[in-house]
Amino acid sequence: MLRRFFQFRSSTKSKQDLILIRFIIERFGYRPKKLRLFKEALTHKSIANTSKKLRSNERLEFLGDAIFDAIVADYLFEKFPKEDEGYLTKIKSKVVNRKSLSAIAAEIGLIDHIIYQKGRTIKVSTLEGNALEAIFGAIYLDGGYQAVYKTVKYHIFRKYTDLNTLLEEEIDFKSKLYIWAQKNKLPLDFKVLKEENLGHKWNYQVEVIIQNKSFGMGSGSSKKIAEQAASKETLLLMGEI
């Protein structure tokens, strides 16, 4: 009897509908209840404008952008209980920016399911990133906040983006050190110890000076890289990272 029920349900949906349902389940870990929301999320305005029956994903994109922003803030707040507002804001901006969203969407393979007018000059990365936000909006309307939270935490972060690598690459140690110095009302400076031309590249060695005392040192092919390395060593010495 149960088998017949599922056969009946499958038979009422088109092949394209079943492909879309399977895609949403596999990539987002969510089973759609109102499939029309997900079809809308994947409909670009370039094609929606050509038909009265189709609605573009712009409204869902607006909603999904806000929901994703809140969920990332929620997630980072729990993940980094000892970090201040400045740190959390900086990290969140790296996770929710257009470049990160487009990269996630490309990894998911979203472009294969987006309906848009081909042949027009439309930037694919923007198309994908916007559609991803629209999918978040669709999941929110279909299943609520917790459904989107689970999708982001257990599927987006675990499968399609290495959050730890992203955090490691994007942390601005110099800014973090400046925030720490300002909070503790201590003067901070960077002293160039060595600046040499090695022929094919330059090498800089920089030292952090706090309240006229030497702390961490760092080297690199530019002052900026050397200052980041010196800042990281200083923060490690102080037990701040």
Report DSSP letters for 1-46, one per residue.
-HHHHHHHHHHTS-HHHHHHHHHHHHHHS---SSHHHHHHHTB-HH
Is there a single domain that holds both residue 156 and residue 67? yes
Of 170, 202, 221, the domain-final residue:
170
Q: Which domain holds residue 228?
A: 173-237
CATH at 208 = 3.30.160.20
Of 170, 193, 211, the domain-final residue:
170
The answer to whether 192 touches 178, Cβ cutoff 8 Å, is no
58 a catalytic residue = no
Q: Which of 40, 65, 128, 227 is catalytic?
A: 65
Q: Is residue 177 in some structural domain?
A: yes
Entry pTM: 0.67
Is there a single domain that holds both residue 22 and residue 140? yes
Joined tokens for residue 74:
């929620």
Q: Which of 40, 128, 133, 227 is catalytic?
A: 133
65 a catalytic residue = yes
The answer to whether 147 touches 154, Cβ cutoff 8 Å, is no
Q: Is 130 one of the annotated binding-site residues?
A: yes
Q: Supply the pLDDT for residue 104.
A: 92
73-105 pLDDT per residue, tens: 999 999 888 877 777 887 888 888 888 899 999
Q: Supply the pLDDT for residue 50.
A: 66
Q: How many domains does the chain divide into?
A: 2
List the chain residues with pLDDT less than 70.
1-12, 49-52, 119-121, 163-171
Q: Is residue 85 in some structural domain?
A: yes
Is there a single domain that holds both residue 166 and residue 217? no
Long-range contacts for 115-122 (Cβ within 8 Å, ≥24 apart)? 115/42, 115/43, 115/44, 115/47, 115/54, 116/43, 116/44, 116/46, 116/47, 117/44, 117/46, 117/47, 117/50, 120/46, 122/44, 122/46
